[in-house]
Amino acid sequence: MTALGKEAELYEKLPNDKVKCTACARYCEIGKGQIGLCGIRGNEDGKLQLYAYGKVISGHVDPIEKKPLIHYYPGSKVYSIATTGCNWLCRYCQNSDISQRRKVEGIDMTPDDVANTAVKYGAHGIAYTYNEPSIFIEFARDCGLAARKKGLFNVFVSNGYDTPESVSMMNEFLDGITVDFKGNAEKEFTRKFIGVPDPQPIFDTLLEIRDKTKIHVEITDLIVPKVGDDLDHARKLSKFVYDEFGPEMPIHFLRFHPDYKMMEYPSTPVETLEKHYQVAKDVGLKYVYLGNVPGHKWEHTYCSECNKIVVNRYGFSIREWHLDKNIRCNFCGNHIPIEGKLQEGYKQDRFQFVS
């Protein structure tokens, strides 16, 4: 490792000292002395450098439900980290100060430092989030391997705009992933508001994860009013999830709030989210959730057999738990597809500032 970071692994060498990055589906071809769109992977003398290796711009401990991952080790705490940069250009990004920053900055941390910090603050795992983790996947992998040695799990909060090469590297260390669609994966929305010409690589990534790994997956979909809330596209996305992953795959419809370059748009009406919920249920999905609407009845997990509330939530907090040690409904015995037992400290404040 040098002052310029560390040589990346996911790339191919091209003629004339050019390189082709294979960490994300943009497949940037980068000339000598140039940097890819993400801002942290660049060509240094014909080699692809990950400039942000060992540079952590943000670190917090928070509930895993915030990711959101609510069918994976419920009640656990995760140490959430990010680097600068991103491979998407979302006009609504709530982390734009991190993701759209094109100067590599952050605190110097080795993978062991990251794992030790997670242990120090009592986290059960590490979440790679706030920006797209696939762009710093070599650093995430090294952190993840160090974390596993200490009994911690690893999860991504990802836009899913990945490649077979990055999924293969995920398989070395990753335990769970939230793949976050935007605007119902409508092509015109992704082109205009994200700067991505086609959402198809996200679908391809999900199938690659399904077929080549055992990573726990949950789906989210940010519903943006007026421009990213078409119910026909919501139905198409829900049917993809049902057909390819089955009725028990969790899907979360998230409420948009105005941010960054989309301050003129209103927050998503709750009624719009409820229509999306109903579309997904009509398709046959059993575990559909609404996010960013604390107190809504569809934050809870309902038993798919008796329809009783088996996990009662408010925001990121678990208020009631009605599942036995085998994750079966206390009312009817139906198994709920939640991986991992409820963590003992789930009623405590799981938000911690990391100095």
Please enumerate, by residue number, every residue annotated as part of a binding site.
Answer: 86, 90, 93
The SS3 of residue 26 is coil
* Contact criterion met (CB below 8 Å) for 152 and 192: no
Known binding residues for [4Fe-4S] cluster: 86, 90, 93
The helix or strand, by DSSP H or E, that contains position 30, with its residue range, turns out to be strand 29-30
The SS3 of residue 65 is helix
* Contact criterion met (CB below 8 Å) for 132 and 24: yes
Give me the half-sphere count of Cα atoms (radius 13 Å) on the Cβ side of residue 268.
Answer: 27
Q: Which of 278, 302, 160, 300 is nearest to 219 (CA)?
A: 160
Strands (E), the chain: 6-7, 11-13, 19-21, 29-30, 41-44, 47-50, 55-56, 58-63, 77-82, 107-108, 125-128, 153-158, 176-182, 216-223, 251-255, 288-291, 301-302, 309-314, 317-321, 352-353
* Contact criterion met (CB below 8 Å) for 156 and 177: yes
